[in-house]
Amino acid sequence: MNTDDWLADTRTSYDTVAVSYADQMRNALAERPYLRGALALFADKVRAAGGGPVADVGCGPGKVTAHLHGLGVDAFGIDLSPGMIDVARRDHPGLRFEVGSMTDLDLPAVSVAGLLAWWSLIHIPDHEVPTVLGHFHRVLRPGGPLQLGFHVGDQSRLKTEGYGGHPMKVHVHRRKPDQVATWLRDAGFEIEAQLLLDPDEKTPGAILFARRQS
């Protein structure tokens, strides 16, 4: 798979669905108490590590970024899709959002106190994951918390339609928590906890809580 092709396809797909995605996901956190609990714990971890700026990587329309801000965290959002960033800035004008790719994260070394990537790593092919996690490790301060959310499974599929019936061309990768944990350890992270979401559903989710080792 050509790196430029899948990145371009992912960017274009989310530009296309940005407005409808934001509308459909507007109440997602309000309806998911376990997700809110995970964010509250993440905010506690950031404060315990001394506080500072926090990157929400793959922020989409900025709902999670805004929720973290409401918890007292100095959060900012990064997303590959300019369309998503436009929506995030529209809906949350007081917060910072910028276009960027987790495959080439344009942040200084040890510049963030925490990093969160919820259901955005799902579009990264396996061979690129170590590079992405290497960037996460580089930009995080020693001891800083990392939280990853993803679909659980062992298959990948090409998503061709979504969020209001708009056309998409984006690969969605489901992964076993043990595999993601191994990648994290190899990148220099310590795993602190794992949360399995909706285990009886067709597509369960998982959140891994980790920290950058010193």
pLDDT digits (tens, 9 = 90+) for 98-156: 999 999 999 999 999 999 999 999 999 999 999 999 999 999 999 999 999 999 999 99
pLDDT score of 3: 55
pLDDT score of 1: 47
pLDDT score of 4: 64
Fold annotation for 3-212: Rossmann fold (3.40.50)
Residue 197 has pLDDT above 60, yes or no: yes
Query: pLDDT tens, 23-39?
Result: 888 888 999 999 999 99
Q: How far is CA 65 from the centre of its chain?
A: 10
pTM higher than 0.85, yes or no?
yes
CB within 8 Å of 183: residues ≥ 6 apart = 129, 130, 133
Residue 86 has pLDDT above 80, yes or no: yes
pLDDT bin (cut points 50, 70, 90) of residue 175 is very high
Domain ranges of the chain: 3-212
| Mean pLDDT on 151-163 | 90
| Mean pLDDT on 48-56 | 95
pLDDT score of 62: 97
